Amino acid sequence: MSDAFHGKVAVVTGGSAGIGRATARKIAEGGGTVYITGRDQGALTAAVADIPGDVIGVRADSRSADDLDRLFAEVGRCSGRLDVLVANTAAIAAAPLGSITEDVIRTVFDVNITGTIMTVQKALPLLADGGAVVLTGSMAAHKASRGQSVYAASKAGVRALARTWALELTPRGIRVNVVSPGPTETPGIAQLAATPEEREAFFTRMGTGTPMTRAGAAEEVAAVIAFVASDAASHVNGADYQVDGGYGQV
């Protein structure tokens, strides 16, 4: 896939860290122009400097309609079109039943559902016919984990969105798919643990729950996202690729 994205324009939301950053790197390495978003300007600037190729950082919050309008206005002005959209921004919060607050529900659903819907919807005028949309899901939508009911519900919603959009965008030849990571070492997951020692134990514990006995790497998930977004997956539509080391499969 060394030139899989040659001449293509992509947007990767949440592209300043973790799976988003690794995905942006894959697309840039494949010859694509990549716009990445993030809320932290410092992290965004660092990601742009770190990823070789044609990478543009745009500070944006997927919950903000104004930020999304500004993002896609810049894509339109600089590139004129969009071939690949990776809606990757996500929020996760641990909240067992009995301690779920309205703030937790609002934060998780605003990012994972409202943010995803508005990102894709606002990208539509720029998306080229025959383009690809990839939504980052989660194995939490398929396999229960204590304390993650709100997050799991939001990611089940992402899966439902992809199915419906795959049907709705078929007349334009735009494919919509989900890639669902299982236990994966990312900064977003790491923030669930308070100290470096707790994080190491946390990832080790996550890994032992998979047949491969280790947590995945962001780059492993990104490789699947890049495949699904490329023309190599031209007959893949409405699917959910589960990159989980067998966590939900056996």
CATH of the domain at 42: 3.40.50.720
171 Cβ partners below 8 Å, 6+ apart?
none
The predicted pLDDT at position 209 comes to 75
Is residue 191 in a domain? no
Per-residue confidence (pLDDT) for residue 82, from 0 to 100: 98
Nearest to 223 by CA among 48, 27, 90: 27
Give the whole-angstrom CA distance, residue 22 versus residue 222.
6
Burial, 35: exposed, middle or buried (Cβ in 10 Å; 0-12, 13-18, 19+)? buried
Q: Is residue 16 domain-resident?
A: yes
Let me know if residue 37 belongs to a domain: yes
Strand partners, 134: 86, 177
pLDDT at 96: 95
Query: With a cut of 50, which residues of the chain have pLDDT below it?
Result: none
Q: Which domain holds residue 104?
A: 9-185+218-243
The residues assigned a catalytic role are: 151
**Single pTM value for the model:** 0.93
**Closest Cα to residue 177, out of 211, 141, 227, 118?**
227
Token pair listed for 113: 């559902």
For residue 118, give both structure tokens. Answer: 């508005």
C-alpha separations of 169 from 43, 78, 155 in Å = 34, 25, 21
List, in order, residues 6 or more apart from 68 with CB less than 8 Å away. Answer: 60, 62, 118, 119, 122
Q: Is residue 193 part of a domain?
A: no
pLDDT digits (tens, 9 = 90+) for 33-42: 999 999 999 9
Give the pLDDT confidence score for residue 192 in this predicted structure.
Answer: 60
Residue 1's pLDDT is: 55
With H, G, I as helix, E, B as strand and everything else as coil, classify residue 33. Answer: strand
Q: Find the Cα–Cα–Cα–Cα dihedral 51, 26, 16, 215, rounded to 10°.
A: -120
**Number of separate domains in the chain:** 1
Q: What is the pLDDT of residue 191?
A: 63
Sign of CA dihedral 109, 75, 25, 244: positive
What is the model's pLDDT at position 248? 87
Q: Where are the beta strands (DSSP E) in the chain?
A: 9-12, 33-38, 54-59, 82-87, 127-136, 175-181, 184-185, 216-217, 240-243
* Burial zone of 147 (CB within 10 Å; 0-12 exposed, 13-18 middle, 19+ buried): middle
Q: Is residue 194 domain-resident?
A: no
Q: What is the pLDDT of residues 142-165, one digit of tens each?
A: 998 899 999 999 999 999 999 999
- Give dist(CA 146, CA 95) in Å, integer: 9
Residue 145 inside a domain? The answer is yes
Inside any domain, residue 222:
yes
User: Does any domain span residue 209?
Assistant: no
pLDDT digits (tens, 9 = 90+) for 206-222: 677 789 888 889 999 99
